[in-house]
Every structure is written in structure tokens, then in C-alpha cells.
Structure 1
Amino acid sequence: MLIVKTRRILLIENKNAIREVTQLCLETGEGWEVMTAASRQEAIAKTKTQKVDVILVDLDTFASDRDLSTILHQLENNPVTQNIPVILLTTTVSSQELEQFTKLGVRTVIAKPFDLMTLASQVSAVLGWNR
């Protein structure tokens, strides 16, 4: 008997409509369990009480690169969360920013606007998850 593990995603997005639509697409498309957070504080609190397989972060949720660096350092310095892959969702990113994000532990960047119907397959491909 094949046991299929349900993936648990944490989506950090401060815009309600985008957060809800993205959550719905990931849940219906792949059957993933998607938890959401609208802020860095809410996200960190959830990672302390819930096991998460990947964190999707909308870069626009953070007021500055410093805020993003703060959450990445918090995740990196916590033994429970340090191995959770982080994927950024953003409208624009320069090669210099991409290099900086990679040094901070970001697995990849997915450009916005992304196709909601293929977002789950993009995440799966980056993480090597079998579909």
C-alpha cells in the first residue's frame, strides 16, 4: 500500500485576495495543506507550532530587504526551521538581489505574476517532489 504524504505549505502574503486565491490553487491543485500568514511575526509563530515542508514568501509583504533578512535569519537560527526551504514570490529581482537572497538561504525566486495553475508544479520541480 502506497502512503502519500500531504505537503504542508506556509504562504506569507499580506494581501488578503492574493493570499486566498493562491492558497485555494495550491490546495485544490495538489491537495496540499496551506497555512497562511500576513506578517513576519505571524509566520514565525506558526513555524514554532506547526511542521512546515516549504515556505512561500511574497517579497512585497516586507517593507524592506532588512525585514526579509530578519525572517530568514530567524528561520536559519532555529533548529526546528533551519532546513525548511524558502521560495520567494516577487515582481522584480535583480541578479545582485538574487545572489543576496541565495546567500540567505532562499531556494529560488518565482516571478510574479505567476500562473496560479502551474505554481504548484513549479514548487514541486524546485524541491524535487514527485507528483
Structure 2
Amino acid sequence: MKSCLIVDDSTVVRKVARRILEDMDYIVDEAEDGQEAFDKCRAEMPDAILLDWNMPILSGLEFLKLLRGYEGGEKPHVVYCTIENDIGAIALALKAGASDYMMKPFNRAILEAKFDLDQAA
């Protein structure tokens, strides 16, 4: 089974994304900030990560840079999720190693399309 780490400081976003990803047969774990997410990735690297842009302690961009520099951190499919409609911020995320991005709010169809790794491969 595929695993996904949802990294978002919003309980609501994590709950909605978890429900959709579990319906897609993902084993789901959650983190409230980038530092917690990085600690979880060091313990066990997920297949995919849904990553929020703006979080306390360690931002999404800071986490992404740490992840991609960590041994095995190049493997997860990382979808950067933001409310910012800022092309510059999206470009920074892609340059830092994001696999894809999507805007909030998202719906089931958008999330399923971004995390259908069999189709993305």
C-alpha cells in the first residue's frame, strides 16, 4: 500500500485530505508543521506528501529543502498546497523539489488527480 504524509497546520484540511486519500487506499499520517513532518520522514519515508505552504516552526518551503537534501528524501511525490496565487512562490516550490502543486480550497477530484501515482508515473 502507498503511504502519504499530510502536512498542514489546519485540522480541517488534514481531516478532509485524510478521508479522500484513505478512500484511494493510502496509509495516511499527519503532521501539524514542517519540523514534525521532517521528524516523521526521518523515521519512515512516505511515498507521497501533501505539503502546506504557510506553517509555524518550519514552513513548507523550508521543510521541502530539508527533505530533498536528506538521504531518501528525493523519493516522495510532493504536492505543494497553497492559498497563495503567487506564481513566484509556486516557482520557488517547484525549484526546491515539489513534484506538483495545487491551490486551496481543493476538492476530491483535484486531490485524486494529484495523488494518482499510477497515472503520474
Q: TM-score, normalised by structure 2?
A: 0.85
Secondary structure, aligned partner of 1:60? coil
Go from structure 1 to structure 2 and tell me whether the alpha carbon gap of 1:69 and 1:112 turns closer, same or farther (over 3 Å shift).
closer
Question: Residue 26 of structure 1 corresponds to which residue in structure 2?
Answer: 21
Distance apart, 1:126 and its partner CA: 9.2
Identity of aligned residues (%): 21
Secondary structure, aligned partner of 2:84? coil
Counterpart selection for 1:120 from 107, 112, 116? 112
- The alignment of Structure 1 onto Structure 2 pairs a total of residues equal to 121
Distance apart, 1:22 and its partner CA: 1.3
Given that residues 25 and 117 in structure 1 are in contact (C-alpha distance below 8 angstroms), is that contact kept between their aligned partners in structure 2? Answer: no
Question: Residue 47 of structure 2 corresponds to which residue in structure 1?
Answer: 53
Unaligned runs of 5+ in 2: none
Distance apart, 1:10 and its partner CA: 0.6
Question: Residue 8 of structure 1 corresponds to which residue in structure 2?
Answer: 3
The residue type paired with residue 31 of structure 1 is D
1:24-47 residue CA offsets vs partner (Å, 9 max, x unmatched):
12102x111111100111101111
CA distance in 2, matches of 1:127, 1:10: 19
CA distance in 1, matches of 2:62, 2:77: 16
Distance apart, 1:113 and its partner CA: 0.9
Unaligned runs of 5+ in 1: 1-5
**Cα RMSD after superposing both structures:** 2.2
Distance apart, 1:120 and its partner CA: 1.9
Distance apart, 1:80 and its partner CA: 2.0
Counterpart selection for 1:36 from 8, 30, 37? 30
Secondary structure, aligned partner of 1:8? strand
Secondary structure, aligned partner of 1:82? coil
Given that residues 83 and 103 in structure 2 are in contact (C-alpha distance below 8 angstroms), is that contact kept between their aligned partners in structure 1? Answer: yes
